[in-house]
Structure 1
Amino acid sequence: MTKNINWGIMGCGGIAREFADALKAVEGANLIAAASKSGKAKQFAEDFNLAYYYDDYEEFVRNEEIDVVYVATTHNFHYENTMLCLNNNKHVLCEKAFTLNAKQASRLIEIAKSKKLFLMEAMWTRFSPALAKLISVIKAGVIGEIKTLKGDFCIDVPFDPKHRLYNINLAGGSLLDLGIYPITFACMILERYPVEITGTLNIGKTSVDQESHYLLKFDKGETALLSSACTYSAPIDFVIYGTKGRIVVPNFYFPAKLILMKNGKTEEIISVPYESNGKNYEAIEVMECILQNKTQSDKQTFYDTLKIMEILDSLREAYLTYPNENDF
């Protein structure tokens, strides 16, 4: 990349700070502005030496120096925040889950296409060096034909009805925040989407799913057994079982190594380190696409985002509806 691109960040929580740190490792990336409605923008701007900070999103998006916005607000605000950015001619990288449902996602995609603006969901795992290596190992036939995939993303978060994972008004629950990882990872590995989707969501006293289990079946007979939870912890691992062995991917939401096993024994450990904190790779993809005047990434397409949103919609249909999710 030869041209500098100016970034703005909307929402100044923990993940916004991680992304701001990642931008330091990206050539040509200039983070110049941040905005927050919770009063965090000033401190954020001081910490990252930004030229601008805003407590008002309308004022933020009117800053003509900003080329692209990273939307790092809670799930319930993704649709309206991204729409605001697009309507003010900003390219957008929006955190996952992209929106509350597929209908919202489809509408944002329509707007981005019509205005010829770049738009992408921030599924950072898709851009990790380890994922590319994993897929190449699988395609080389090292573990034979894939039969089953198993992945869990379960973390123990103390119950607090105001916490984003337990608050239905913030579109909380384990599915959108954590379950999206194993679901997306399974689809990325197989490079296809399921033909059958079933699941069970355990709804807690704040009306969001605290523990969820998913079963995906694919057209060649492969199955994916997946789970997410915010009430207990478990190894955040993903395992791909094949006819000749299996591959274990520790911390699969952003992995650094692959463990190849055959006959119950470790045969090889493949180290695939990453630079910075890993979110730099998705930022690089965004910037390269913008410089090429693309509206979507070839690696994280609109189709990919819509298919994942449709899976999430299907899983929670009988269990969970978020307030005002269809009012747009």
Structure 2
Amino acid sequence: MSPFPSALPAPRTPDPATAPALRWGVLGTGWIAERFIGSVRRHTRQRFTAVASRDGGHAAEFAARHDIPRAHGSYESLVADPEVDVVYVATPHTAHLSGARLALEGGKHVLVEKPLAPSEAEAALTARLAAERGLFCAEALWTLFLPRFDVVRRLLESGDLGEIRTVLADIGEYFDPAGGHRIFRPELAGGPLLDLGTYPVALATWVLGAPDTVLATGQPHPAGVNGQLSAVLRTARGDQAVLHTTLFSDTPTTAVIAGTRATLTLPGPFYQPGDLVLTPAGGGTPLTYTEPRTAHDALCHEAAEVARCIAEGRTQTPLRPLADSLTTLRVMDGIRRQCGIVFPGESPDAA
């Protein structure tokens, strides 16, 4: 057995500014699109050449505010734009499949906001179409593209944690029902699972693999969506993840990956840039990795990875393969079935 490391490894994440420049079109003009554009512009050489909204006036206003040359009043028009190489789908969850399909059928590479789709079945359609067209496709789960998570990746690869038996992850954020946020809208697949819960489920399935057992319970919100849920995942070996997400309250939003040799703690918010603490099993002097807590200003890393992969002729990224996105959604579908959460277009028996 190798000794406990004397220092944590450095991230291998390339400087986003070194990624080859591509021309990006953006479907959607919401909160995440604004932050994505800002971060990518500040830290990379990527170019935003077009934006689309179903409301042409809204698209024009957004384009003017963000200095984007062309505004399209339809998604169909943007994906036909010859000045666009890759499309970033930043629409509500229920439009992820349709946006990705438009882009791929239009011959464009695509980066789809997380989750890839509301369900595994819809996400599989996107993955199949990308494969048929030989185009790049990825889920914009920005967490796994961060330097912080490459340090986690290196620790998993090295075996310094030993046999990993446990993952604990929580994410809770208070949303004011009077604020009109889409998270309260059943017709847009509201509730915390897709917006927040994707992060702990993705962490657990990334670290432990696909579970063979999912146990979940939930609590409704008066708005008609799920308000919070908890889940236990168990692998065939018996390793377990305990996960929680809520829109009722702010919670620590921390994560723990515990192995037989060491425990890795990710102080909250665990899915953003920040620290890591590795503590030897049985106690001892912990090791700490620190990086600036730049929050969503680190969205640039996923765009840079997309650009590098496309330039290299890849149709997927090894940092978040589509198979991993499908596994996460399969688990989330299982959670929904047990909590009685039904999304638009589904029958009650589907959830």
TM-score in terms of structure 2 length = 0.86
- Larger helix fraction of residues: 2
Equivalent AA in structure 1 for residue 82 of structure 2: E
For 1:312, the equivalent position in structure 2 comes to: 332
8 Å contact from structure 1 (residues 130, 273) kept in 2: no
Q: 3-state SS of the aligned residue for 2:244? A: strand
8 Å contact from structure 2 (residues 192, 247) kept in 1: yes
8 Å contact from structure 1 (residues 129, 274) kept in 2: no
Instruction: Extract unaligned runs of 5+ from structure 2.
Output: 1-17
8 Å contact from structure 2 (residues 19, 307) kept in 1: no
Aligned counterparts of 1:23 and 1:87: Cα–Cα separation in 2: 25
Aligned counterparts of 1:67 and 1:297: Cα–Cα separation in 2: 17
Aligned counterparts of 1:110 and 1:239: Cα–Cα separation in 2: 34
**Which 10-residue stretch deviates more, 276-285 or 9-18?**
276-285
TM superposition shift of 1:320: 1.3
Instruction: Extract unaligned runs of 5+ from structure 1.
Output: none
Which of residues 308, 314, 327 in structure 2 aligns to 1:294?
314
For 2:234, the equivalent position in structure 1 comes to: 217
**Which 10-residue stretch deviates more, 167-176 or 250-259?**
250-259
8 Å contact from structure 2 (residues 273, 298) kept in 1: no
TM superposition shift of 1:79: 1.0
Equivalent AA in structure 2 for residue 132 of structure 1: D
8 Å contact from structure 2 (residues 272, 293) kept in 1: no
8 Å contact from structure 1 (residues 23, 31) kept in 2: no
Q: 1:139 to 1:272 in 2, by over 3 A?
A: farther
TM superposition shift of 1:2: 7.5
TM superposition shift of 1:325: 4.5
1:258 aligns to 2:276 (yes or no): yes
Aligned counterparts of 2:63 and 2:278: Cα–Cα separation in 1: 44
For 2:342, the equivalent position in structure 1 comes to: 321
8 Å contact from structure 2 (residues 90, 112) kept in 1: yes
**Which 10-residue stretch deviates more, 65-74 or 36-45?**
36-45
CA displacement, residues 125-176 of structure 1 (integer Å, 9 cap, x when unaligned): 1111111112323454544432221110100001149421111111111111
Which of residues 244, 247, 254 in structure 2 aligns to 1:227?
244
For 2:210, the equivalent position in structure 1 comes to: 193
TM superposition shift of 1:3: 4.8
Q: 1:236 to 1:40 in 2, by over 3 A?
A: farther
For 1:97, the equivalent position in structure 2 comes to: 115
Q: 1:299 to 1:235 in 2, by over 3 A?
A: same
8 Å contact from structure 1 (residues 12, 36) kept in 2: yes
TM superposition shift of 1:221: 2.4
TM superposition shift of 1:74: 0.7
For 2:8, the equivalent position in structure 1 comes to: none
Map 1:144-183 to 2 at 5 A.
Answer: 144-160=162-178, 162-183=180-201
Aligned counterparts of 1:83 and 1:102: Cα–Cα separation in 2: 15
Q: 1:155 to 1:2 in 2, by over 3 A?
A: closer
CA displacement, residues 178-227 of structure 1 (integer Å, 9 cap, x when unaligned): 1110111122233x221211111222233321101011112332211100
For 2:3, the equivalent position in structure 1 comes to: none
Equivalent AA in structure 1 for residue 39 of structure 2: A
8 Å contact from structure 2 (residues 87, 110) kept in 1: yes
**Which 10-residue stretch deviates more, 222-231 or 40-49?**
40-49
Aligned counterparts of 2:133 and 2:195: Cα–Cα separation in 1: 29
Number of aligned positions between the proteins: 326
For 1:24, the equivalent position in structure 2 comes to: 41
Q: 1:311 to 1:6 in 2, by over 3 A?
A: same
Which of residues 100, 113, 117 in structure 1 aligns to 2:131?
113
CA displacement, residues 15-43 of structure 1 (integer Å, 9 cap, x when unaligned): 10111012214544111111122543223
Equivalent AA in structure 2 for residue 236 of structure 1: T
Aligned counterparts of 2:44 and 2:137: Cα–Cα separation in 1: 20
Aligned-pair RMSD on alpha carbons? 2.3
CA displacement, residues 34-64 of structure 1 (integer Å, 9 cap, x when unaligned): 1122543223212221111122222222211
